[in-house]
Amino acid sequence: MLNALLWISRILFGVVFIFSGFVKAIDPLGSAYKFEDYFLAFGTEWLFFMALPLAVLLSTLEFVIGAAVLLGIKMRYSAWGAFLFMAFFTPLTLYIAITDPVPDCGCFGDALIISNWETFYKNVVIFAASIFIFLHRNKFKPLWSKKGDWYLIGFITLLVLGLSAYCLRNLPIMDFRPWKVGNDISELVIPTEEEADIYLIFENKETGETKEYPSDDYPWDDPDWVAQWEYKDQRREVTQPYQEAEIENFEIIDEFGDDLTEFYITKPEYHFMVIAWGLENTNTRAFSRRITPLARAADENGYSLIVLTGSSFSKIEEFRHENQTPYPFYQSDEIELKTIIRSNPGLVLMKDGVVIEKWAHRNIPEFEKIKENYFQD
């Protein structure tokens, strides 16, 4: 029975920690943005420079501790790591659940969104498993040899750090956000309107009797009926409740304040969107070496390219003048732009509202390569 409980605890703890560490490791910028949300909520913006290092450190610790516990590697140390990790984060998540500084704790990145209270309840269960493992840590034997286990721990650590570095320089190898390749954005930016059947209630002028009719089917053209009945009220029966759009804050605004979102999102031709959420932080060489040549080639072939940024229009004009960028710039919500692509700048190819492909700035191909590989007649 004891061995069975230990295995259950190890599997539960290990799987949760490996999953949590993995989804953060493949999206280090997303985890860094979440740290920034917490720094803003707690008034510690001066810690912004630590957001990315802390994001990489957290994902690496979670994955390595989870893998070590699951595989039984160096359990005297791994059990201590699991116990101390949960001893710190369980009360912290309770405080976050009570104060609610951010709506989503980000413990599973964008792969699985759970509430702050659900996060705390999850941590209570995982903490209990870590305590049980910690109390019986001396019962585990080395997986290989003592030295071999250290080599394995080192290999797993380097593997996770390498994965984070790759995804940071390129794009996450798995995309859990609404703007992933293949999604129809035109469906996600428009809310689902409420649909309801309306019934009209009429009262007989002589008897006081009431009757209910569908709004599109009552004897309005019968003079005798109209003379006897008068309208009193109506009843709505909701058949489709209103639902917010999955992508709520995305917009494309020009310098005159006009909203061009629908025009570009529903555009039936292939077109390019460059995402540069902050021009003051963007890679300017990517514009001169890759984006501007691409824009010229696209224009010569009848395709459009626009830039979306969260920067002000004064900053846009300054940037365009300094970098000689002869293509349109529009404003959009900075936070939403960060969810579109984890690169500043990054390139998105779209057609008829669908995301065809995305590239980090260092991986943007030449126009002819894109046309050859992605354009279909």
pLDDT, tens only, 309-346: 999 999 999 999 999 999 999 999 999 999 999 999 99
Residue with tokens 């995982």: 126
- Relative to beta strand 329-331, strand 304-309 is parallel
Nearest-5° Cα angle at 355, 353 to 357: 150
Question: Over the chain, what is the mean pLDDT?
Answer: 91
For the chain, give the percent of residues with pLDDT over 90: 72
Neighbours of 219 (CB within 10 A): 12
Tell which residue, 212, 191, 356, 345, has the closest CA to residue 281: 345
Distance CA 355, CA 181 (A): 5
- Structural tokens at position 101: 């500084």
The average pLDDT across 253-280 equals 93
The average pLDDT across 59-79 equals 92
Would the pLDDT of 95 be above 80? Answer: yes
Task: Report all structural domains of the chain as residue ranges with CATH numbers, in order of start.
Answer: 2-169 (no CATH), 195-240 (no CATH), 261-374 (3.40.30.10)
3-class state of residue 100 by DSSP: coil
342 DSSP 8-state letter: S
Distance CA 345, CA 307 (A): 9
- Decide if 86 contacts 126 (C-beta within 8 A): yes
Distance CA 366, CA 303 (A): 14
Say which residue, 25 or 137, is predicted with more confidence.
Answer: 25
Distance CA 377, CA 370 (A): 14
Partnered with residue 350 across adjacent β-strands are 271, 355
What pLDDT, in 10s, does the model give residues 208-226?
Answer: 899 999 988 888 888 888 9
Altogether, the residues listed in the chain come to a count of 377
What pLDDT, in 10s, does the model give residues 119-154?
Answer: 999 999 999 999 999 998 887 776 667 778 889 999
The average pLDDT across 55-70 equals 95
Q: Among 2-11, 92-101, 321-330, where is mean pLDDT lowest? A: 2-11
What pLDDT, in 10s, does the model give residues 152-208?
Answer: 999 999 999 999 999 999 999 999 999 999 999 988 887 778 889 999 999 999 898
Residue with tokens 């792969």: 111
pLDDT at 191: 76
- Structural tokens at position 110: 């964008």
* Sequence letter at residue 200: L
- Structural tokens at position 184: 């129809």
Distance CA 330, CA 142 (A): 59
pLDDT at 377: 67
What pLDDT, in 10s, does the model give residues 282-296?
Answer: 999 999 999 999 999
pLDDT at 334: 93
Which sign does the torsion angle of CA 16, 22, 23, 29 carry?
A: positive
- Relative to beta strand 270-275, strand 229-240 is unpaired
pLDDT at 142: 67
Tell which residue, 272, 251, 276, has the closest CA to residue 262: 251
Q: pTM (2 decimals)?
A: 0.83
**Confidence band for 104, pLDDT divided at 50, 70 and 90:** confident
For the chain, give the percent of residues with pLDDT over 70: 99
